[in-house]
């Protein structure tokens, strides 16, 4: 199906359905040191048995230093006509000083990819409404293309970062996109075992909006509630997978509504009501208010997520910790992964290693737990 569900697109999907785990991994340089994608490829390949070839992908930050002030739009197209249609719409929102085909190489296991192109763009400030920022225009553009334009899908839209994903094992996808030739200060990776949706290029992780990128292991059973909640704020969930809502919720809570990070995590994975009632009065009232005001944003179901953004990464488990997440640090580098083995593959002797607790975020630049109670 196309991103808006209106037609066949054989490069986008495979209909097999397998129930199982997913693999997630992240590496962050606290100092902003850029390094190539070989380490993240090694890390995610260690967990190959957690995937099955139905989806793999990466997010990389700091990879476009020469275009750092422009939004980098990565797009997939069914056919050249879809690209032509998008390129007629882009000037309504942005100027395009530079565009190019996303470089790839032939890789065994990767077949029938879509047309892949990237545009480095500047927002036309004259289209901004009162109190709007450039990011709001980019979000409108992304939502318009993904929901209304046949055969086109924006899968990355941040500054100085990019998402690369598709149908295949993650190490195959990494080689296909030539990630060993990029350098970034933060890398996320995902190997997908689709739980309730078919494997297709647009449905692979990460999911991104602006500089938010999300990789997810688990299942969001509150997807319907979360989707309807987000639609009240102009977001359109068109990608037929539950993880999409997480990226949009982080954008809504942190960028648009400017909640403190700790409060945003309280909204997404709050303490149980029984725990809240045992807290001191002021904290009890604050958490009650967050749960009531943002009830539609609460994530239910088993999950562990890694969220990348320009300032670092966030690791968050569901409240009962039904999916694994390990973290470690060596000197000025932070590692988070589904399995400790994936960390030790690229960092054999970390200075610190631990397990994330349910509902307690692990935040980079340092892998510290932040108490929410």
Residue with tokens 């075992």: 193
Residue 265 bears catalytic tag: no
At residue 94, φ and ψ (nearest 5 deg) are: -140, 160
Helices (H), the chain: 38-45, 80-93, 134-148, 170-176, 223-231, 244-250, 261-268, 273-276, 281-293, 340-344
Give the span between the Cα atoms of 55 and 189, in whole angstroms. Answer: 11
Residues 6+ apart with CB under 8 A from 341: 46, 47
Residue with tokens 């890694």: 306
Nearest to 315 by CA among 274, 281, 295, 343: 343
Query: Strands, DSSP E only, in the chain?
Result: 23-29, 35-36, 56-61, 71-77, 94-101, 115-123, 152-156, 161-166, 183-184, 186-191, 207-209, 212-218, 303-309, 312-317, 326-330, 333-337, 352-355, 362-363, 368-369
At residue 297, φ and ψ (nearest 5 deg) are: -100, -5
What is the Cα Rg of the chain in Å?
19
Max Cα-Cα span within the chain: 61
Q: Which residues are marked as active site?
A: 22
């Amino acid at each position: 199906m196309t991103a808006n569900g209106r037609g066949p697109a054989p490069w986008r999907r495979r209909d097999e359905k397998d129930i199982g785990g997913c693999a997630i991994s992240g590496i962050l340089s606290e100092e902003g040191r850029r390094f190539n994608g070989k380490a993240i490829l090694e890390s995610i390949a260690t967990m190959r048995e957690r995937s099955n070839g139905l989806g793999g992908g990466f997010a990389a930050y700091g990879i476009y230093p020469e275009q750092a002030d422009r939004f980098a739009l990565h797009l997939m197209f069914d056919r050249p006509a879809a690209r032509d249609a998008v390129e007629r719409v882009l000037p309504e929102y942005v100027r395009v000083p530079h565009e190019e085909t996303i470089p790839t190489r032939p890789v065994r296991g990767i077949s029938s990819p879509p047309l892949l192109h990237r545009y480095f763009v500047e927002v036309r400030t004259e289209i901004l409404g009162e109190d709007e920022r450039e990011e709001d225009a980019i979000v409108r553009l992304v939502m318009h293309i993904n929901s209304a334009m046949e055969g086109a899908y924006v899968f990355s839209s941040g500054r100085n970062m990019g998402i690369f994903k598709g149908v295949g094992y993650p190490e195959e996808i990494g080689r296909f996109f030539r990630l060993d030739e990029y350098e970034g200060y933060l890398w996320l990776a995902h190997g997908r075992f689709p739980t309730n949706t078919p494997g297709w290029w647009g449905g692979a992780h990460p999911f991104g909006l602006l500089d938010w990128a999300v990789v997810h292991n688990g299942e969001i059973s509150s997807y319907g509630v979360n989707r309807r909640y987000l639609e009240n704020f102009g977001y359109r969930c068109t990608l037929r997978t539950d993880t999409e809502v997480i990226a949009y919720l982080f954008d809504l809570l942190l960028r648009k509504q400017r909640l403190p990070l700790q409060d945003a995590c309280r909204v997404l994975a709050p303490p149980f009501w029984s725990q809240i009632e045992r807290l001191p009065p002021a904290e009890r009232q604050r958490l009650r208010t967050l749960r009531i005001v943002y009830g539609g944003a609460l994530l239910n179901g088993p999950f562990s997520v890694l969220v990348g953004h320009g300032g670092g990464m966030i690791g968050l488990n569901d409240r009962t910790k039904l999916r694994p997440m390990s973290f470690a640090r060596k000197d000025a580098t932070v590692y988070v992964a589904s399995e400790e083995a994936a960390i030790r593959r690229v960092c054999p002797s970390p200075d610190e290693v631990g397990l994330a607790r349910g509902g307690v975020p692990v935040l980079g630049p340092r892998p510290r737990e932040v108490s929410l109670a």
